[in-house]
Amino acid sequence: MEPSMATTAGDRQRRGVRLAAADWLAQAHPAGLMHGAVVMGAVLALVSDHEEPMISVTGTAATILVVYWLTHAYADALSRGITGDRRHLTKRLVRSARHETAVLLGGLPALLTFALFMGFGASFVDAIDAALWLTLLMLTGAGYLAAHLAGITRWRLVGETAFAAFVGGFMVTLNSLLH
């Protein structure tokens, strides 16, 4: 096989993976995923100041995430009523809660990373750091995929990806400042 054909096939495969990931992100309610990731990252950064037992941190963080999810669902259901959806609030709320499960899914990776690291004997600080770095990677990847899906290239792609990394980096920095 010619070198140029191998490169082309490899490029096609990479582009296919990127497009598949970007398509998944676009259909998975990306705003909810990012909100969940940011909320969980912020919660873990803030609790990192007080070294608490794993069960206490995971319980508190999970509770905050669930309250945030329910708030999102209620706000969405309420706004649907304001804009003319005449269905009963309960039906709107159930539909909104399903739609907003992306908030929960966005926060789970960091929470599970923290719990797994602690469960396997990592220090509290290392477990928090691992969860926050994962959040930074998730946000950076989502920023990149969103820009890629929008057809943004070159320096604008770099800029949008960098901004997403900045948001995640803010939590890592906050964590460092609290120690």
Q: Summarize pLDDT for 114-164 with one digit per residue, the tens.
A: 999 999 999 999 999 999 999 999 999 999 988 888 888 899 999 999 999
Closest CA to 57 of 112, 134, 103, 139: 112
Residue 50 has pLDDT above 50, yes or no: yes
Res 18: pLDDT: 74
Res 6: pLDDT: 45
Q: How far apart are CA 134 and CA 40, in angstroms?
A: 11
Provide the residue count of the chain.
179
- Tell me which DSSP letter residue 87 carries: S
The amino acid at residue 66 is: V
Rounded average pLDDT over 57-85: 94
In percent, the amount of the chain with pLDDT more than 70 equals: 91
Distance of CA 8 to the CA centre of its chain: 32
Q: How far is CA 80 from CA 9, 87, 134, in A?
A: 47, 9, 34
Burial of 41 (0-12, 13-18, 19+ CB in 10 A): buried
Which residues have CB under 8 Å from 132's CB, separation 6+? 41, 44, 45, 110, 168, 171, 172, 175
Res 157: pLDDT: 94
In percent, the amount of the chain with pLDDT more than 90 equals: 61
Closest CA to 142 of 47, 12, 35: 35
Prediction pTM value? 0.82
Crossing angle of the two packed helices 154-178 and 30-47, in degrees rounded to 10 = 30
